[in-house]
Each structure stands twice: as C-alpha cells, then as structure tokens.
C-alpha cells in the first residue's frame, strides 16, 4: 500500500519537535519492519510543507531551508517517498466536501485513490483516509 502523506503528517515526520513526530515515526517504523514503507507526496503536500515551515514562528525556516529538509527527508534510505503528480480538477472533489476547510482534504483523498494510494493523516475526520495510529 502506498500512503500519500497530508501536510501535517509530512511535517510531523520531518520535524522532531513536532507534537506528533513520535506518533508518525513509530508508524513509519512499523511499516519499515514489513519492508521499506511506500510513502508519497504530491504538489500540494510539498508546497504546504515548505509554506508552513517558512511561515510558522516556532520553526523559523527560510523557504530554501524547508525545501532542503524536504529533499533530505524524501531521500532518506529508511523511507521510500514517491511523488504523485496532480492531474485532478475540481470535478473530482467528493460530495462530502461542504466547507472551505474540507477542500484540500477532499482533493487529497481523491488524488490518492486515483493513484492506488490512501491518504495518511492525523485527522480522524477525513472520510476515506487512513488515520495514523
């Protein structure tokens, strides 16, 4: 199974001081015991990673520093991190999306499904996603 990481889970994996780093790291380690985990990013999650790390006061990263960290994370030997290109338009947005806060989640769920993957998240309120334990 390939898991498309949402922005928050990608940040948690990459930042040791993130409140959910341990949770995501343990999950990835469990996957690694079964072989190299198949994780993925996409344009939205990669740009979100860079945006959050460069905007959030607690991280104080430059855009370049955030970019470099993400490249290192994706190249780590313990994590196989693929890339899912995004060719989905608005017609693929699920009907359960009712508010602006749900639009990206709905899009990522559909993008993952269209590519034989599942959205992995720390948010238990996203229909069709996998909640990282």
pTM, to two decimals: 0.93
In the three-class reduction of DSSP (H, G, I as helix; E, B as strand; rest coil), residue 34 is classed as coil
The residue among 36, 14, 33, 34 whose CA lies nearest residue 25 is 14
Q: Domain residues of the chain, as ranges? A: 2-131
CATH 3.40.30.10 fits 2-131, yes or no: no
Q: For residue 31, give Cα distances in angstroms to 52, 61, 112, 131.
A: 26, 29, 18, 14
Structure tokens at 96: 């359960």
Along the 133 residues of the chain, how does pLDDT read in single tens digits?
Answer: 999 999 999 999 999 999 999 999 999 999 988 877 799 999 999 999 999 999 998 888 999 999 999 999 999 887 879 999 999 999 999 999 999 999 999 999 999 999 999 999 999 999 999 999 9
């Amino acid at each position: 199974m390939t898991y498309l990481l949402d922005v928050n889970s990608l940040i948690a994996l990459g930042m040791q001081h993130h409140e959910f780093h341990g949770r995501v790291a343990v999950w990835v380690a469990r996957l690694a015991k079964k072989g190299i985990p198949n994780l993925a990013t996409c344009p939205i999650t990669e740009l979100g990673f860079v945006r959050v790390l460069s905007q959030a006061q607690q991280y104080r990263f430059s855009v370049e520093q955030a970019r470099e960290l993400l490249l290192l994370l994706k190249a780590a030997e313990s994590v196989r991190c693929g890339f899912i290109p995004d060719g989905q338009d608005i017609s693929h947005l699920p009907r359960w999306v009712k508010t602006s806060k749900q639009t990206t989640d709905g899009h990522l769920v559909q993008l993952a499904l269209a590519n034989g993957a599942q959205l992995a998240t720390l948010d238990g309120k996203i229909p069709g996603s996998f909640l990282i334990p």
